[in-house]
Amino acid sequence: MDDECDYLLKAVMVGDSAVGKSNLLSRFARDEFRLDSRPTIGVEFAYRNVRVRDKLIKAQIWDTAGQERFRAITSSYYRGASGAMLVYDMTRRSTFESLTRWLEELRRFGDHDMVIVLIGNKSDLGEAREVAEEEGRGFAELEGIFFLETSALNNTNVEEAFLEMIHRIHKITS
Ligand code: GDP
Ligand code: MG
Protein backbone atom coordinates (compact mmCIF):
# COMPACT_ATOMS: atom_id res chain seq x y z
CA MET A 1 0.00 0.00 0.00
CA ASP A 2 1.19 3.51 -0.75
CA ASP A 3 2.72 5.23 2.24
CA GLU A 4 0.54 8.26 1.76
CA CYS A 5 -2.75 6.29 2.03
CA ASP A 6 -4.52 6.22 5.39
CA TYR A 7 -6.24 2.89 4.78
CA LEU A 8 -7.22 0.26 2.25
CA LEU A 9 -10.78 -0.83 1.64
CA LYS A 10 -11.98 -3.79 -0.39
CA ALA A 11 -15.16 -3.85 -2.46
CA VAL A 12 -16.53 -6.39 -4.93
CA MET A 13 -18.45 -6.24 -8.20
CA VAL A 14 -21.37 -8.71 -8.39
CA GLY A 15 -24.22 -9.43 -10.79
CA ASP A 16 -24.97 -11.58 -13.82
CA SER A 17 -22.62 -11.98 -16.75
CA ALA A 18 -22.40 -9.12 -19.30
CA VAL A 19 -24.28 -6.53 -17.23
CA GLY A 20 -21.22 -4.25 -17.47
CA LYS A 21 -19.33 -4.90 -14.22
CA SER A 22 -15.86 -4.86 -15.81
CA ASN A 23 -16.59 -1.74 -17.84
CA LEU A 24 -17.98 0.11 -14.82
CA LEU A 25 -14.83 -0.74 -12.93
CA SER A 26 -12.46 0.23 -15.77
CA ARG A 27 -14.38 3.48 -16.19
CA PHE A 28 -13.96 4.29 -12.51
CA ALA A 29 -10.37 3.14 -12.19
CA ARG A 30 -8.90 4.12 -15.56
CA ASP A 31 -11.63 6.01 -17.45
CA GLU A 32 -11.74 3.28 -20.10
CA PHE A 33 -14.59 1.56 -21.90
CA ARG A 34 -14.53 -1.49 -24.22
CA LEU A 35 -17.19 -2.33 -26.78
CA ASP A 36 -16.20 -5.99 -26.97
CA SER A 37 -17.06 -8.19 -24.04
CA ARG A 38 -13.87 -9.59 -22.62
CA PRO A 39 -14.73 -12.04 -19.88
CA THR A 40 -12.18 -11.73 -17.14
CA ILE A 41 -10.02 -14.79 -16.56
CA GLY A 42 -9.09 -15.32 -12.95
CA VAL A 43 -9.72 -12.70 -10.31
CA GLU A 44 -8.90 -9.16 -11.30
CA PHE A 45 -8.94 -6.05 -9.28
CA ALA A 46 -8.35 -2.36 -9.76
CA TYR A 47 -7.30 0.40 -7.42
CA ARG A 48 -8.16 4.03 -7.08
CA ASN A 49 -7.19 6.47 -4.37
CA VAL A 50 -10.06 8.57 -3.10
CA ARG A 51 -9.89 11.49 -0.74
CA VAL A 52 -12.69 11.71 1.82
CA ARG A 53 -12.30 14.82 3.94
CA ASP A 54 -8.89 14.50 5.65
CA LYS A 55 -8.30 10.84 4.72
CA LEU A 56 -6.81 9.28 1.61
CA ILE A 57 -8.42 5.91 1.03
CA LYS A 58 -7.06 3.27 -1.30
CA ALA A 59 -10.07 1.51 -2.80
CA GLN A 60 -9.31 -2.00 -4.03
CA ILE A 61 -12.22 -3.25 -6.13
CA TRP A 62 -12.44 -6.89 -7.14
CA ASP A 63 -14.10 -8.03 -10.35
CA THR A 64 -15.74 -11.42 -10.84
CA ALA A 65 -13.79 -13.53 -13.21
CA GLY A 66 -16.46 -14.77 -15.60
CA GLN A 67 -17.70 -17.00 -12.77
CA GLU A 68 -21.02 -15.26 -12.37
CA ARG A 69 -22.98 -18.46 -11.91
CA PHE A 70 -24.35 -18.77 -8.43
CA ARG A 71 -22.12 -20.48 -5.92
CA ALA A 72 -19.22 -20.43 -8.38
CA ILE A 73 -17.65 -17.44 -6.70
CA THR A 74 -15.72 -18.61 -3.69
CA SER A 75 -16.07 -17.11 -0.25
CA SER A 76 -12.55 -15.67 -0.49
CA TYR A 77 -13.88 -13.26 -3.11
CA TYR A 78 -16.18 -11.73 -0.50
CA ARG A 79 -13.85 -12.03 2.48
CA GLY A 80 -12.94 -8.69 4.01
CA ALA A 81 -15.09 -6.74 1.56
CA SER A 82 -16.76 -3.74 3.13
CA GLY A 83 -18.68 -2.81 -0.01
CA ALA A 84 -20.36 -4.31 -3.05
CA MET A 85 -21.61 -2.94 -6.35
CA LEU A 86 -24.61 -5.09 -7.27
CA VAL A 87 -25.19 -4.61 -10.99
CA TYR A 88 -28.04 -5.47 -13.35
CA ASP A 89 -28.59 -4.55 -17.00
CA MET A 90 -31.75 -2.46 -17.39
CA THR A 91 -32.18 -3.86 -20.92
CA ARG A 92 -32.34 -7.48 -19.66
CA ARG A 93 -35.08 -8.28 -17.18
CA SER A 94 -33.51 -11.64 -16.19
CA THR A 95 -30.52 -9.80 -14.72
CA PHE A 96 -32.88 -7.80 -12.50
CA GLU A 97 -34.64 -10.98 -11.43
CA SER A 98 -31.32 -12.45 -10.29
CA LEU A 99 -30.81 -9.68 -7.74
CA THR A 100 -32.48 -11.51 -4.87
CA ARG A 101 -30.08 -14.43 -5.23
CA TRP A 102 -27.05 -12.14 -5.45
CA LEU A 103 -28.17 -10.38 -2.29
CA GLU A 104 -28.47 -13.74 -0.56
CA GLU A 105 -24.87 -14.50 -1.52
CA LEU A 106 -23.68 -11.10 -0.33
CA ARG A 107 -25.45 -11.51 2.99
CA ARG A 108 -24.21 -15.05 3.44
CA PHE A 109 -20.55 -14.44 2.64
CA GLY A 110 -20.10 -10.72 3.19
CA ASP A 111 -19.66 -8.69 6.36
CA HIS A 112 -22.97 -8.05 8.08
CA ASP A 113 -22.53 -4.28 7.73
CA MET A 114 -21.39 -4.43 4.09
CA VAL A 115 -22.39 -1.34 2.09
CA ILE A 116 -24.31 -2.41 -1.01
CA VAL A 117 -25.01 -0.10 -3.95
CA LEU A 118 -27.52 -1.24 -6.58
CA ILE A 119 -26.68 -0.26 -10.16
CA GLY A 120 -29.04 -0.38 -13.14
CA ASN A 121 -26.46 -0.16 -15.95
CA LYS A 122 -26.73 0.66 -19.70
CA SER A 123 -29.00 3.68 -19.21
CA ASP A 124 -27.78 4.90 -22.62
CA LEU A 125 -29.92 2.15 -24.23
CA GLY A 126 -33.19 3.76 -23.19
CA GLU A 127 -35.19 2.39 -26.13
CA ALA A 128 -34.32 -1.19 -25.13
CA ARG A 129 -35.26 -0.73 -21.49
CA GLU A 130 -36.91 -3.75 -19.81
CA VAL A 131 -36.74 -2.55 -16.20
CA ALA A 132 -38.29 0.77 -15.18
CA GLU A 133 -36.18 3.09 -13.07
CA GLU A 134 -38.94 3.02 -10.43
CA GLU A 135 -38.63 -0.77 -10.17
CA GLY A 136 -34.93 -0.47 -9.45
CA ARG A 137 -35.53 2.26 -6.91
CA GLY A 138 -38.38 0.32 -5.31
CA PHE A 139 -36.25 -2.81 -4.96
CA ALA A 140 -33.42 -0.79 -3.40
CA GLU A 141 -35.78 0.92 -0.95
CA LEU A 142 -37.18 -2.42 0.19
CA GLU A 143 -33.66 -3.73 0.74
CA GLY A 144 -32.40 -0.51 2.30
CA ILE A 145 -29.62 -0.01 -0.22
CA PHE A 146 -28.53 2.94 -2.39
CA PHE A 147 -29.57 2.96 -6.08
CA LEU A 148 -28.42 4.66 -9.27
CA GLU A 149 -28.86 4.05 -12.98
CA THR A 150 -25.54 4.32 -14.81
CA SER A 151 -23.97 4.12 -18.22
CA ALA A 152 -20.40 2.88 -18.41
CA LEU A 153 -20.53 3.75 -22.12
CA ASN A 154 -21.48 7.40 -21.63
CA ASN A 155 -19.77 7.67 -18.27
CA THR A 156 -23.01 8.68 -16.57
CA ASN A 157 -23.25 8.32 -12.77
CA VAL A 158 -20.31 5.90 -12.63
CA GLU A 159 -18.12 8.15 -10.50
CA GLU A 160 -21.13 9.06 -8.36
CA ALA A 161 -22.00 5.42 -7.67
CA PHE A 162 -18.49 4.38 -6.61
CA LEU A 163 -17.92 7.51 -4.56
CA GLU A 164 -21.24 7.05 -2.78
CA MET A 165 -20.21 3.52 -1.81
CA ILE A 166 -16.78 4.66 -0.62
CA HIS A 167 -18.21 7.56 1.40
CA ARG A 168 -20.74 5.26 3.07
CA ILE A 169 -18.02 2.74 3.94
CA HIS A 170 -15.89 5.53 5.37
CA LYS A 171 -18.82 6.70 7.52
CA ILE A 172 -19.23 3.21 9.00
CA THR A 173 -15.56 2.53 9.61
CA SER A 174 -14.51 5.93 10.95
P1 GDP B 1 -19.48 -8.06 -17.23
O2 GDP B 1 -19.56 -9.46 -17.77
O3 GDP B 1 -20.58 -7.80 -16.24
O4 GDP B 1 -18.13 -7.71 -16.71
O5 GDP B 1 -19.81 -7.06 -18.45
P6 GDP B 1 -18.78 -6.27 -19.41
O7 GDP B 1 -18.25 -5.07 -18.71
O8 GDP B 1 -17.83 -7.22 -20.00
O9 GDP B 1 -19.80 -5.74 -20.52
C10 GDP B 1 -20.59 -6.64 -21.29
C11 GDP B 1 -20.98 -5.96 -22.61
O12 GDP B 1 -21.84 -4.84 -22.34
C13 GDP B 1 -19.79 -5.40 -23.40
O14 GDP B 1 -20.06 -5.59 -24.78
C15 GDP B 1 -19.80 -3.93 -23.06
O16 GDP B 1 -19.23 -3.16 -24.09
C17 GDP B 1 -21.28 -3.65 -22.87
N18 GDP B 1 -21.56 -2.57 -21.92
C19 GDP B 1 -21.09 -2.44 -20.64
N20 GDP B 1 -21.57 -1.33 -20.06
C21 GDP B 1 -22.36 -0.73 -20.98
C22 GDP B 1 -23.15 0.47 -20.98
O23 GDP B 1 -23.24 1.23 -20.02
N24 GDP B 1 -23.86 0.74 -22.13
C25 GDP B 1 -23.81 -0.07 -23.23
N26 GDP B 1 -24.53 0.30 -24.29
N27 GDP B 1 -23.08 -1.20 -23.25
C28 GDP B 1 -22.36 -1.53 -22.15
MG1 MG C 1 -16.46 -8.95 -16.51
Pocket test for ligand 1, best of 22, 32, 35, 37 (most atoms within 8 A of CB): 37
pLDDT > 70: percent of the chain: 88
Mean pLDDT value across residues 97-123: 94
**E strands, 65-159, in order:** 83-89, 115-121, 146-149
Q: Tell how far the Cα of 89 is from the centroid of ligand 2, in angstroms.
A: 13
> Which of 13, 22, 23 is the best mutation target for the ligand 1 pocket, counting ligand atoms within 8 Å of the beta carbon and taking the most?
23
The CA 110 to ligand 1 mean position distance, Å, reads: 25
In short, whether 152's Cβ falls inside 6 Å of ligand 1 is yes
Query: What local confidence, expressed as pLDDT, does residue 30 receive?
Result: 82
Confidence of residue 111 (pLDDT cuts 50, 70, 90): confident
pTM, two decimals, is 0.93
Mean pLDDT of 19-29: 93
Complex ipTM above 0.90?
Answer: yes
User: Which has the higher per-residue pLDDT, 60 or 31?
Assistant: 60
Give the Cα separation of 82 and 134 in Å (integer). Answer: 27
Tell me if 124 CB under 6 Å of ligand 1.
yes
The ligand minimizing its distance to the Cα of 102 is: 1
pLDDT reported for residue 117: 98
> Distances in Å between the alpha carbon of 27 and those of 23, 93, 151, 173?
6, 24, 10, 26
Is residue 155 over pLDDT 90?
yes
Q: Which residue has the higher pLDDT, 37 or 9?
A: 9
Sign of the Cα torsion 132, 138, 140, 142 reads negative
pLDDT band, very low/low/confident/very high, at 38 (cuts 50, 70, 90): low
- Is residue 83 predicted with pLDDT exceeding 90? yes
In this prediction, residues 86-114 reach a mean pLDDT of 95
